[in-house]
Amino acid sequence: MTIEQLSASRAHGGVQGVYRHASAATGTDMVFSVFVPDHAPDARLPVVWYLSGLTCTHANVTEKGEFRATCAELGLIFVAPDTSPRGDGVADDPGYDLGQGAGFYVDAVRAPWAPHFAMRTYIETELPALVAAHFPADMARQSIMGHSMGGHGALTIGLRNPGRFRAVSAFAPIVAPSQVPWGQKALSAYLGDDRAAWRAHDAVALIEDGARLPELLVDQGMDDAFLGEQLRPELLAAACADAGIPLTLRRHIGYDHSYYFISTLMADQLRWHGARLAGAAGPEGVGPEGVGPEGVGQGAG
């Protein structure tokens, strides 16, 4: 399990690195970024996984996410994988919502996707082993977050692996891909038309089928162009209420789907993760400017 360092930059009392390796899961080279704060020589640091959305690579959050200062303060390693396999010979689609840049964190079983699109195995198994081998990571203290398609990935991976992550959160996630156009297109292409097979890749369906987590945090911009058709946070709220899962769903007036929104909330979500990774309960009802105690934006933006 060797990796190649593509770049390393000093930032906020730590090192932001970008790495490449040959993936057995995807059969391609994969690139990912890792921020490691300064630490004692023998220290092992908790790990926060960040899964990106449609069309993104590792670079979007690495360059725009504004996470490093908070990760350095809290002593958190921040790992940002790519969203799909890439390269010559890797299947693609003219649409932005399928193929390269749109792996949906599933293991494809249908042609032409099956040879390379094994993002579930890559994220759940291969990359964690690589991070554990090459970085000062405390794999007993992990959490996961993501945005949009990556929010879908964070929720579903967290629900399928309830003992692995101490915290699970998302920015504007696709909560029920089986019920929205983005998800229906991708799941049918990658997994086939048997909707029963989709349920392991749908957060709402997983909860309906008995998956449980101690709590969830979701931030959603109310000026998000994809809110009504593709994201549907009300479906997650209903599923969590029926299952007795505490969900903090914070609605932010004036915010859209972009990294302006994500960067605004990033430090707040990381503090929420940090409290749980440290084994302590975080403060309730605390959010960034413009968020009231009920988690509803009070004219911010």
Catalytic (active site) residue 257 = yes
Q: Which of 52, 84, 143, 148 is catalytic?
A: 148
- Rounded to 5 degrees, φ, ψ at 19 are -135, 155
Q: Which tokens is 280 given? A: 């302590």
Residue 9 annotated in active site: no
Choose the catalytic residue: 58, 116, 257, 273.
257
Residue 78 phi, psi dihedral angles, 5° rounding: -120, 115
| Active site (annotated) includes residue 252 | no
Q: How many CB atoms lie within 10 A of CB 169?
A: 28
Assess contact for 30 and 21: CB atoms under 8 A.
yes
* DSSP secondary structure letter of residue 229: I
Out of 107, 202, 219, 224, pick the active-site residue.
224
CA 84 distance to own-chain centroid: 13
Q: How many helices (H) and strands (E) does the chain have?
A: 10, 9
In which region does residue 236 sit, left (phi positive, over 0), alpha (psi from -120 to 50) or beta (all else)? alpha
Between CA 261 and CA 231 the distance in angstroms is 15
Smallest CA-to-CA distance from 83 within 167, 174, 219 is with 174
φ/ψ of 97, rounded to 5, equals -100, 20
Backbone angles phi, psi at 146, to 5 degrees: -170, 170
**Catalytic residue annotation:** 148, 224, 257
